[in-house]
């Protein structure tokens, strides 16, 4: 792995959950890491843990919806030979009906999942194209296969990410750069737990972060899309027709997962 994707990997959203699992697996493979995250505590904890495995680790405490986040990251990464960029940041779903919601909050969802992702992919992708090898792994969601109430903007930006990854894969494959959107279903992460989702509902397929990270790295060459956690059939179904029945049915199922508003 280090010959193709090393010696440095950048993980946006690398402090906990799936991002931390990526960090540990890449450190085990000998890659040095730049970890980017908003929360200083989990960021420092993960950095210390993977640094103990013998790799060099740099950290960037940063909110990716701040103005020009790439400028801040480049202060740390310019001069490094980055062979892998993982964009794992994107959990700010902001659940609210669109017409009564806060447009600034919705804009934040767009800025993180689209604007920041494009900036990072454009910068690191160009460097990888120039050197003729590397990997771009963009973490997506099953939410991007279907519109959903309360998170209509989040679903829309994840749909954008999936289609973007497909086009980017076509562009970069001729230059030795692998592109993969890793599509996640329900995953037992701290963010999901803080959201209060009922992950113990009978029949619900819940994946563990380390299993997701393993799948993503194992299938990085199998782009443009890899649906992780045993959710391939669910993605197929969500992409089908008729849309009214599928969207309504998924909405009723989702309501059982949401925390009791009372």
Q: Residues for the chain: how many in total?
A: 262
Predicted pLDDT at 261 = 47
- Give me the DSSP letters along 164-205: HHHHHHHHHGGGTEEEEEEEE-SB--HHHHHTT--TT-TT--
The correct CATH number of 2-255 out of 3.40.50.720, 1.20.120.530, 3.40.50.300, 3.30.300.10 is: 3.40.50.720
Q: Is 154 a catalytic residue?
A: yes
Predicted pLDDT at 32 = 98
Residue 218 neighbours by CB distance under 10 Å: 11
Predicted pLDDT at 189 = 76
Sequence-separated (6 or more) residues with CB below 8 Å from residue 209: 17, 18, 20, 21, 187, 188, 189
Choosing from 94, 145, 154, 232, the catalytic residue is 154
Answer whether 147's CB lies under 8 Å from 155's CB: yes
Predicted pLDDT at 98 = 96
Domain ranges of the chain: 2-255
Predicted pLDDT at 111 = 95
Question: What is the mean pLDDT, run by run of 10 residues, along the chain of 262 residues?
Answer: 96 97 98 97 98 98 96 98 94 87 95 97 98 98 95 95 98 98 89 64 84 98 97 96 94 72 46
Is the link from the previous residue into 242 a cis peptide, with omega within 30 of 0?
yes
Predicted pLDDT at 196 = 60
Query: Which phi and psi (to 5°) does residue 226 adopt?
Result: -130, 120
Predicted pLDDT at 194 = 62
């Amino acid at each position: 792995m280090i010959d193709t994707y090393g010696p440095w990997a950048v993980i946006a959203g690398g402090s906990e959950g799936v991002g931390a699992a990526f960090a540990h697996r890449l450190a085990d493979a000998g890659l040095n890491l730049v970890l980017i995250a908003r929360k200083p505590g989990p960021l420092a904890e993960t950095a210390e843990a993977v640094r103990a495995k013998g790799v060099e680790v740099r950290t960037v405490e940063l909110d990716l919806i701040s103005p020009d986040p790439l400028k801040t990251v480049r202060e740390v990464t310019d001069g490094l030979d980055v062979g892998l960029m993982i964009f794992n940041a994107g959990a700010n779903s902001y659940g609210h009906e669109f017409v009564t919601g806060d447009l600034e909050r919705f804009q934040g969802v767009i800025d993180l999942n689209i604007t920041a992702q494009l900036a990072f992919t454009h910068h690191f992708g160009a460097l990888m194209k120039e050197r003729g090898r590397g990997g771009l792994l963009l973490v997506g969601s099953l939410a991007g296969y279907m519109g959903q109430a309360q998170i209509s903007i989040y679903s829309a930006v994840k749909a954008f990410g999936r289609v973007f990854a497909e086009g980017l894969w076509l562009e970069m494959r001729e230059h030795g750069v692998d592109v993969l959107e890793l599509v996640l279903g329900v995953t037992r992460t701290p963010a999901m737990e803080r959201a209060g989702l009922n992950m113990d509902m009978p029949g619900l397929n819940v994946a563990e972060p380390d299993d997701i990270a393993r799948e993503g790295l194992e299938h990085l060459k199998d782009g443009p899309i890899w649906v992780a956690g045993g959710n391939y059939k669910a993605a197929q179904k969500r992409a089908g027709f008729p849309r009214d029945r599928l969207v309504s049915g998924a909405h009723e199922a989702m309501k059982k997962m949401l925390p009791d508003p009372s």
